Amino acid sequence: MLTPEQSVLVAIVACLAGAALTLVVARNKVAAGWVAFAVTSVSAAVILRAVAEVLWRGPSAHPAAFWAMPRFGFALRIYVDGLTAVFLLLASVIAVPAAFYSILYMRHYREYGVGRYYPYFLLFLAAMYGLLSTTDMMWFFFIFWQLMTLPGYALIRYEHRKKENVWAANKFLIMMQVACAATMIGAELLAVGGKAVSGSASLKYDFDTVSANLPLLLATRPGMTALAFGLFLMGFGIKMGMWPFGQFWLPDAHPAAPSPVSAMLSGVMIKTGVYGVMRYFLWLVPVSARESYPLARWGMLVAILGTITLFTGTMQAMKQEQTKRLLAFHSIGQVGYILLGTGACMALVAANTPAATALGTIAVCGALFHVLNHGLFKGLLFLNAGSMLHATGTQDLNQMGGMMKFMPVTAVTALIASFSISGVPLFNGFVSKWSIYVAAIQGSGWAHYLVVCAVIAILTSALTLASFMKFFGVSFLSRTSARVRERAAQGRMEVPGMMQAPQVALAFCCVLLGVVPAIGFRLIGRALGASRGGLGTALASASPLLSGRLGGVGETNSAAVFAPLALGVVLALTFALVYGISKLGSATRRAAVPWLCGYAREAECNRYVAHNFYGEIKRYFRWLGGMPRVRKPPVLKGQF
């Protein structure tokens, strides 16, 4: 059998080969789609097997070296531990529905072939597998980063005849290169410093070498290591969309790509930045360096940056009137939650008491769980947005309305995703936010600022809800818009079954993880147990969360509990009771049109559209930026 490391290499090679193969068959859009889907599924199956092996049998003893040129410190060394496994799991779980959705979705691009789509899609996926599992901080990091960035660039400018897409892709490319440079300079600083303090030069860019040299380096050259870590935070922060707080690249880049790629960009790619922060700041630093490593300060910085990111990202999202742009801003906001969890974990681990470490573990569990959950619901939302675009031909929420009647499956899955991202109980987003709140609030004994961060996160969760009530309400509920009516008259609006299936599958995952969160927490608990490197060792041995009764979760000291199944039963019973009450009077039902005070007829001009929502709050937070740039006045048709 293959070791996990060999499996990752096989998956990468499979994707590369698949990229060549799809190029050959690219003349037939659907055939190329099936080939890409088959290759993605095979690579995902190989990866999932590797993940299962790491989580249940434990990781390999050493990284596997496949190719090395020691003179340059150049080595393809791959290692799959628990942390890597979680992110690999995410990549494969999102890639398969995205690839499946692409098969029919790509047909609607009449002017663009798929020869510039599927090969890049597979290269992009291969690069993410590589980036998440390589232990080389310099050369292979560079290779995989570029292998991810350049196809990403090509995918974002897929519709290259639209000027704004090319500009968005260029911005993406520039930012990614800045991030790449920052991270590599940081790695070079650590490697050079490590060589100077230890004298050994073999594989100086490898995690193991850097980690071994860090205690001495931190003790002798604290300024230089701080600079290196600052550069890591900058580089990975750009990747995950934190810098520059939603202003420049991400909100333009994600909507420009075809929807399944947006799902991959938002669901998976930006998480490689999260992976980088977790890996470098926690798992790379050995326990022996604890005294000289200012973990508490870094934790504070990450947590506060996370809080700023989640608030600004979500507040800007609330102003959006374009489906995919709104979702892209929310990706920034949700990454903020993940960063808050990571920062809280760092700050609490720094306190170095058993109780604080336990809370730190809850925080990182929440962050990792949110990584998975965000992949699921944001992937789903982008597929929903793709279906809406497919059906209406526009991303403009102002022109949508009343679509639930015409596309019920998309509507219900979009509602599930909206509930998940807003943190409604019984959906998956709630559980991960729950653990981040628990850790941040109870951890405020060690770091007072955390409780304020938690309250801002709760406030932001209400903003998220507001944004998604608008997103769902004005597109699927409300009244049928002129555009939707026109499209509906032309024929079936609901997307074909093959495009519904990935949406339904992702929605099912959201509900499953929401009702039985113990699955997620067990998985992450195992992952933490299987990644015993650096300060992560402390997290691996603490087990603060119980898989409580009925598939719920609770803290070991039972200060916080959540049993979703019990809540589900209570809600179902009260729902049945209420249903019974409503039938008591055996009232009859009749359909009618809404009443507009008798002197106005229903028309496109008096529909309440996305632009009209939340005017006061949008006005108060105008200074935060992100106001929609192009606002066409509503089309005045019909009679007054």
Ranges within 205-224 binding other proteins (CB under 8 A): none
In the complex, the smallest distance separating the C-beta of residue 177 from other proteins, rounded to whole angstroms, is 38
Render 6-55 in DSSP notation, one character per residue. Answer: HHHHHHHHHHHHHHHHHHHTTTSHHHHHHHHHHHHHHHHHHHHHHHHHHH
Q: What residues does 318 pair with on adjacent strands?
A: none
* Stretch 365-404: interaction string toward other proteins, x if CB under 8 A: -------------------------------------x-x
In the complex, the smallest distance separating the C-beta of residue 608 from other proteins, rounded to whole angstroms, is 4
In the complex, the smallest distance separating the C-beta of residue 485 from other proteins, rounded to whole angstroms, is 11
In the complex, the smallest distance separating the C-beta of residue 551 from other proteins, rounded to whole angstroms, is 11
In the complex, the smallest distance separating the C-beta of residue 547 from other proteins, rounded to whole angstroms, is 14
Helices (H), 443-496: 449-476, 482-490
Alpha carbons within 13 A on the beta-carbon side of 265: 37
Name the nearest CA neighbour of 529 among 131, 136, 85, 7. 85
- Amino acid letter, residue 25: V
Tokens of 602: 């229903």
- For residue 444, state whether it binds other proteins (rule: CB under 8 A): yes
In the complex, the smallest distance separating the C-beta of residue 528 from other proteins, rounded to whole angstroms, is 22
Helices (H), 114-162: 118-133, 139-156
In the complex, the smallest distance separating the C-beta of residue 559 from other proteins, rounded to whole angstroms, is 4
| Three-state secondary-structure class, residue 496 | coil
Number of residues that bind other proteins (CB under 8 A): 78
Which of 68, 529, 606, 628 binds other proteins (CB under 8 A)? It is 606
Which of 61, 223, 582, 640 binds other proteins (CB under 8 A)? It is 582
| Three-state secondary-structure class, residue 595 | coil
Which of 226, 304, 455, 498 binds other proteins (CB under 8 A)? It is 455
Q: Which of 219/603 has CB closer to other proteins?
A: 603
Residue 297 CA to residue 346 CA, distance in Å, equals 9
Q: Which of 301/477 has CB closer to other proteins?
A: 477
In the complex, the smallest distance separating the C-beta of residue 307 from other proteins, rounded to whole angstroms, is 13
Q: Which of 174/596 has CB closer to other proteins?
A: 596
- For residue 181, state whether it binds other proteins (rule: CB under 8 A): no
Pair 440, 383: CB distance under 8 Å = no
- Amino acid letter, residue 469: M
How far does CA 94 lie from the centroid of its chain? 10
- Greatest C-alpha distance within the chain: 87
Q: Which of 42/458 has CB closer to other proteins?
A: 458
Tokens of 76: 């393809």
Q: Which of 91/407 has CB closer to other proteins?
A: 407
Q: Which of 34/614 has CB closer to other proteins?
A: 614
Cα-Cα-Cα-Cα dihedral sign, residues 514, 473, 93, 505 = positive
Pair 417, 330: CB distance under 8 Å = no
Which of 579, 599, 623, 640 binds other proteins (CB under 8 A)? It is 579
In the complex, the smallest distance separating the C-beta of residue 401 from other proteins, rounded to whole angstroms, is 8
In the complex, the smallest distance separating the C-beta of residue 560 from other proteins, rounded to whole angstroms, is 4
Q: What residues does 581 pair with on adjacent strands?
A: none
In the window 222-281, what residues touch other proteins (CB under 8 A)?
none
Q: Which of 584/630 has CB closer to other proteins?
A: 584
Q: Is 627 left (phi over 0), alpha (psi -120 to 50) or beta?
A: beta
Pair 414, 384: CB distance under 8 Å = yes
In the window 47-106, what residues touch other proteins (CB under 8 A)?
none
In the complex, the smallest distance separating the C-beta of residue 639 from other proteins, rounded to whole angstroms, is 16
- Amino acid letter, residue 483: R
In the window 586-605, what residues touch other proteins (CB under 8 A)?
586-596
Pair 344, 443: CB distance under 8 Å = yes
In the complex, the smallest distance separating the C-beta of residue 267 from other proteins, rounded to whole angstroms, is 24
* Stretch 397-436: interaction string toward other proteins, x if CB under 8 A: -----x-xx-----------------xxx----x---x--
Q: Are strands 553-555 and 561-562 parallel, antiparallel or unpaired?
A: antiparallel
Residues with Cβ < 8 Å from 528, sequence gap 6 or more?
82, 83, 361, 364, 365, 536, 539, 540
Instruction: Give the number of residues written for the chain.
Output: 640
The vertex-33 CA angle with 32 and 34, nearest 5°, equals 90
Residue with tokens 């199956």: 45
Tokens of 421: 């991202």
Q: Which of 275/613 has CB closer to other proteins?
A: 613
In the window 464-493, what residues touch other proteins (CB under 8 A)?
465-466, 469, 472-474, 476-480
Q: Which of 50/624 has CB closer to other proteins?
A: 624
Cis peptide before 70 (omega within 30 of 0): no
Distances in Å between the Cα of 430 and the Cα atoms of 186, 460, 465, 479, 571 are 36, 13, 12, 30, 16
Q: Which of 312/531 has CB closer to other proteins?
A: 312
In the complex, the smallest distance separating the C-beta of residue 407 from other proteins, rounded to whole angstroms, is 11
Q: Which of 1/581 has CB closer to other proteins?
A: 581
- For residue 511, state whether it binds other proteins (rule: CB under 8 A): no
Tell me which stretch binds other proteins (CB under 8 A): 77-85, 120-128, 375-383, 446-454. Answer: 446-454
In the complex, the smallest distance separating the C-beta of residue 456 from other proteins, rounded to whole angstroms, is 8
Which of 71, 161, 199, 616 binds other proteins (CB under 8 A)? It is 616
In the window 537-576, what residues touch other proteins (CB under 8 A)?
549-550, 552, 558-563, 566-567, 570-571, 574-575
